[in-house]
Amino acid sequence: MSTPHGGDPDTEPTQDSTTTAASGAGEVKSRVGLRYTLSQVKRDTTALIGIYIVGFITLVALFAAIDYYIFDYAIAEAIMYDPERDPDEVNRLLPPVGMENQFGSGVLEHPLGTDHRGRDIFTRLVYGTRVAMTVGFMATAIGLVGGTLVGAVSGFYGGWIDDVLQRFTETIYAIPFLVLVIAFMTAFGRNLTFAMIGVGITAIPVFNRLIRSRVVSIREEDYIEAARAAGVKDRHIILRHIIPNSFAPVLVQATLQVGVSILIVAGLSFLGFGAQPPTPSWGQMLSQSRGYMLPAPTFSIWPGLAILFTVIGFNILGDGLQDALDPRINN
């Protein structure tokens, strides 16, 4: 209904005058758009660190993927070692260079040491980024697309469609996600593809809720009603008004979700449900190092650090984006 004088702007006159003043000083700043977002991110040191970490890992993963898919580890073999093949002469469980353990002392050829089958840990870590990033991005993409679809339809149309879709996603949400993914993989197959799909499905409710709540609140905005009153088609309303305006929190959530997915798939690999040997993956490396914790502790430390580093990178980036995209915070 109508509120008379709908929130008199006079209650905080200074705030009003400062915001208009901001637009008066120098150029006219627009508080929207990609360029503005980037300029905000650049002003935030933490977010910047996040960008560097994520950027670095992405580059490494790209290199690994190119080598794997196009050259079949030719580059790896040329400059380092084939990460999958067992070496001919076995130098098992060597420590990193400059350290010693009961199996020998570290050598420069294996800077981070070797694993239980004598393979170079550094190479396997580098090539493990491919699995981690693929899984992280694909699972998030599946969750994002599925969740956006379900959430947008649910929020825009409401009514019984909303009820059915929401009860369905709540059911997924109610099952512990590891149980769900393991059950899913047991049914369909224990490989990386199904791990990705499984983790992606568990992310659907997360995005669904976010998108739905955004759509429901944006749907009530006057400018949506204005567009409807002007005779704009539903499809155009969703594309031009609703999606651009719900974009910000989704981007943040997606960034965080990549980190979460990497962590989950590492956990699955650790349990033997993810990438299958000999494909190098961090979770699997952790799993293999279990038996050698005492004699060769560094074997387990490296993949652990890699996971930590990556997940923190994504989380920092997500937090930074959140601040940068929040219209209430503008300094």
Q: What residues make contact with another protein under the rule CB under 8 A?
A: 1-14, 16-28, 30-33, 160, 163, 167, 221-223, 225-233, 236, 240-241, 244-245, 331
- What is the distance between the alpha carbons of residues 175 and 274, in angstroms, rounded to a whole number? 20
> Judged by CB, which is closer to another protein: 119, or 214?
214
- What is the distance between the alpha carbons of residues 129 and 65, in angstroms, rounded to a whole number? 9
Report, in Å, the least distance between residue 238 CB and another protein: 13
Report, in Å, the least distance between residue 145 CB and another protein: 22
Query: What Rg value do the Cα atoms of the chain yield, rounded?
Result: 25
> Judged by CB, which is closer to another protein: 34, or 294?
34
> Judged by CB, which is closer to another protein: 6, or 176?
6
> Judged by CB, which is closer to another protein: 102, or 331?
331
Report, in Å, the least distance between residue 326 CB and another protein: 14
Report, in Å, the least distance between residue 239 CB and another protein: 12
Q: In one letter, which amino acid is 314?
A: F
> Judged by CB, which is closer to another protein: 246, or 287?
246
